[in-house]
Structure 1
Amino acid sequence: MAKQQAYNQRPGSDTLKKRTPRSESSGVLVLHKTLDILEAIKNTPGGLSLADLSRAVRMPKPTAYRITSTLESRGYLDRTTEGGYQVSRKLFELQRRTTDEQVIIRAAQPIMDRLVESCQETVNLGILDAGEVVVINTIESPQGIRMASKIGNRRYLHSTALGKVLLCGLPERELQRLIRVKGLPKLTPFTLTTVAGLKDELELIRERGYSIDNEENELNGRCLGAPIFGPYGRMVSALSISGPSFRMTVEHAHSLAPQLLEACRSITQSITS
C-alpha cells in the first residue's frame, strides 16, 4: 500500500483552516459539555428528562437541548417512553468495537514485529469498515525501498490482499450488496473488475487460505493477506505482507504464506484464549 494512492484523499483533507484561540477554546468547551451529558445519561438507569439532565450537569436548558438534539439526530441518544433521553445501542456498539479493535491490535503487535523482522517487508493489520478495508496498525519494512502505509488508510476491498480476505468472510447477500454499492473500479490493468472474476478469486483464497494482490491496487506493489478469527470462528481482521514487486515476486509472495498463516493463527489464539 503506497501513501501516494489518490484513493486516500478525502474532501478537505489537504486543506488546513486556521483556527483562532477563541474558536478553539469554544470547540473544546462544547466537547466537554457533550461528554458531561453522555456520562450523566449513561450513569442514570432509565435515562434522564431534559430538566433533570440540565440540573445534573448544571447547564442551561437551551444548551442541553441543542446538544441532546444533535446526539439524538446522530443516533447516539434514544428517547425513553416518558420522553427522556437514554444512551442508544449505537454508542454501546461504538464502545464495543473500539474495545475489540484494541484487543486485536495488542494481540497482533508482538507478532507483527517478529514477522517484519523475519520477512523484512511491511506488515499491515486491517478491518472491514463501511465497505472498505481500514488499516488499524502497520509496521513498515526497514528496507530503503518499501511499501509505505499508515494507520487509518482506507482501500477498496476487491483490489487489496487485506480486502479480498475480508470479503471471504461475508455472507453472499452482503457481498452482493457491497459490490452493488461500491462497484469494482479499475485501479490498475490487473484489477479484478467483474463479479465472476472476483468470485473465482475468492473461492481460490478460501481453498488455499490466503490472498494475493498482484499489482491490482497499485503498480509495482505486491501483497499477500490472511484472516484472523475471533470467538465463534468469526473473521475479525486480516494481516498482510506488502513489498515492491521487484523484490516481492509472485514466487516469493507464495513462499511467505506459511509465515503469514502462522502469524494469523498465533493472533487468533491470543484473541480467543
Structure 2
Amino acid sequence: MGTTSGRTAPFRSVRHALRVLEIIAGHPDGLRDDELGRAAALPASQLAHLLGTLRREGYVRRLADGGYAAGRALVLLGSAADRRRLRQEKLQQALDALRESLNAAVYLARYADGELEVTLTSDAPQTPRVNEWVDFRAAAHATAIGKCLLSQLDHDGRQDHLARHPAARLTSRTITDQRILLSALDRRPATMPVLDLQEYAVGTLCAAVPLTAGSTAGCLALSLPIDQAHRLRLAAEALNRQAAPTLLSLAL
C-alpha cells in the first residue's frame, strides 16, 4: 500500500492548510505569498499547491496586488449556523467528487455516543450504495466501516460495543468469534485501509480508511459489486490518498 510517509501525507497536508488559514484569518488586509510562506514555514511549491486547493474551495481569494486574503467560505466560519451549513455542503461536495473519481459509492461515518453512524453518502445509478439489509449499527463487526471505527477505539471500547451488539453471522465469511475479531483489530496498522470481502452482504466488497478530527473517530468508505473485485485494491489506495480534502472540510 506504499510507504508510511505516503500514507500520512494527506494528514500533514491538512495540518499545513489549517496553519495557512490561521495566518490568513489574522491578516484581514491580505498577505503576499512570500510573506505567507515565511509565516507558515512552507516551501514555495508546497504553498502554491495548498493555495490552489484553498482557492478552489473558496477558503482564500486572490487580491488584485497578487496577495491572498480570507475567502467567503472562511468568513462564513465565524457564524455557528453558517459554519454547520458550509461544513455540510463542503463534505457533500467532497464525497461527490470522490464518488466520481473512484467510480464507486462512498460513505462518511463516525462513532459517537457508543454507536456507529453513517452521516453522509454519495451514490448514483451507476454506483449504487450498499443495501442496508441489517442495521449498520448492529453490524460493525462485519463491515469495513464498522471495523475501521472499532479499530480507533481502545480495547475496552471495542468490548463494550460487541457486548451491546454481539457478532452475528451475516454471510459465510462473517467473523463471529470475538477473540479473533479483537485480535485482528489490535494488529491492524492505523493507516491501512480496512476491507470487507462479502462479510456483510454476498456480492458486495467495501474498503474504509480512518478519518479522525479531534477526539471523534470517523472514516471514509467505498463499496463495489463483486464483479469489480479487480478494482478494490487500487480504489482503496486512491481513497486513502484523496482523503485530505474531506479531512480538511471535517476539521473546519
SS in 2 for 1:193: coil
Paired AA for residue 134 in structure 1: E
* Alignment: residue pair count: 169
Q: Compare CA radii of gyration and give the structure with the larger one.
A: 1
Partner Cα separation in structure 1 for residue 196 and residue 105 of structure 2: 14
- After TM superposition, the structure 1 = structure 2 runs for residues 113-132 of structure 1, keeping only pairs within 5 Å, are 113-129=96-112, 131-132=114-115
Q: 130, 141, 154: which one pairs with 2:136?
A: 154
Q: 137, 161, 168: which one pairs with 1:185?
A: 168
SS in 1 for 2:171: coil
Give the deviation of 1:268 after TM superposition.
2.0
| Alignment root-mean-square deviation, CA | 2.8
The reply to whether residue 271 of structure 1 matches residue 218 of structure 2 is no
SS in 2 for 1:256: helix
- After TM superposition, the structure 1 = structure 2 runs for residues 17-166 of structure 1, keeping only pairs within 5 Å, are 105-129=88-112, 131-143=114-126, 146-148=128-130, 154-155=136-137, 156-166=139-149
Residue deviations 1:144-200, cap 9 Å, x none? x733458xx634211111111100111111111111221111111111111232123
Partner Cα separation in structure 2 for residue 102 and residue 242 of structure 1: 27
Give the deviation of 1:140 after TM superposition.
1.0
Residue deviations 1:223-257, cap 9 Å, x none? 001111113xx34321111111112x1x4211112
Cα separation, partners in 2 of 1:174 and 1:243, compared to 1, 3 Å: same
Higher relative contact order (CA 8 A, sep 6+): 2
Structure 1: any 5+ residue segments left out of the alignment?
A: 1-97
Paired AA for residue 112 in structure 1: L
Say whether the 8 Å CA contact 2:191–2:210 is kept in structure 1: no
- After TM superposition, the structure 1 = structure 2 runs for residues 3-22 of structure 1, keeping only pairs within 5 Å, are none
- What is the TM-score with the length of structure 2 in the denominator? 0.58
Partner Cα separation in structure 1 for residue 224 and residue 123 of structure 2: 10
Partner Cα separation in structure 2 for residue 168 and residue 99 of structure 1: 33
Report the counterpart of residue 259 of structure 1 in structure 2: 238
Say whether the 8 Å CA contact 2:207–2:223 is kept in structure 1: yes
- What is the TM-score with the length of structure 1 in the denominator? 0.54
Q: Percent identity?
A: 23
Report the counterpart of residue 218 of structure 2 in structure 1: 237
Structure 2: any 5+ residue segments left out of the alignment?
A: 1-80
